A = this chain, B = another copy of it.
């Protein structure tokens, strides 16, 4: 089974040249005249993305966002293993989510170390995010997925990905507003 850069481009809303350039950056694993072997491509990308191993993740914050994430269907399938959940709320501590029992937030550092967690998901209020991030990094975490609507400060070399609902909506309102303000289809100039 094989797929061409052209077909990949259509699926990803991009161009064939772009697909080829991007892939070539990591080596050349297509077959000229044929395309890319789907299985080989999948396996190569798995390795490039670091998905050829299991990443132990700790979820901080057992609120609604936390539970939505925990239930996310592909989470485990894609190589991420939620090894612990912590929260500050005494009401929630001890509660069982699937296999996992919600633990007190004070345990964060020891859990990170014991379970060798490499990633944390911050599903906490904005006011708590910075402190939790610092504690996590000090305990040895290598990357942070931040759902709190604040820009957290971490040492260089620790990647942070931010997900912020309001900013996504703002991106939409901006584009819609701009479309209204701008000439619809600036005609190709001349001739």
Contacts and interface: CB of A to CB of B under 8 A. Distances in A.
Contact of A49 (B50, B145, B174): B174
A88 interface: no
Contact of A169 (B13, B57, B179): B57
B143 A50 contact: no
Interface residues of A, number: 48
Contact of A118 (B48, B176, B178): B176
Contact of A161 (B49, B57, B171, B179): B171
Contacts of A168: 145, 161, 163
Copies in the complex: 2
B151 A171 contact: no
B50 A151 contact: no
A78 interface: yes
A14 B91 CA distance: 41
A176 B142 contact: yes
Contacts of A170: 49-51, 78
A18 interface: no
Interface stretch (A29-37, A61-69, A103-111): A61-69
Nearest to A142: B176
A37 B149 CA distance: 23
Interface string A153-191: 000010101010110111111111111000000000000
Contacts of A79: 173
Nearest to A10: B153
Given A55-B173, A118-B176, A72 B159 contact: no
Given A74-B166, A144-B172, 4 more contacts: A13-B151, A50-B178, A72-B165, A159-B175
10 contacts: A50-B178, A51-B173, A55-B169, A69-B165, A74-B149, A75-B166, A78-B169, A143-B173, A143-B176, A157-B179
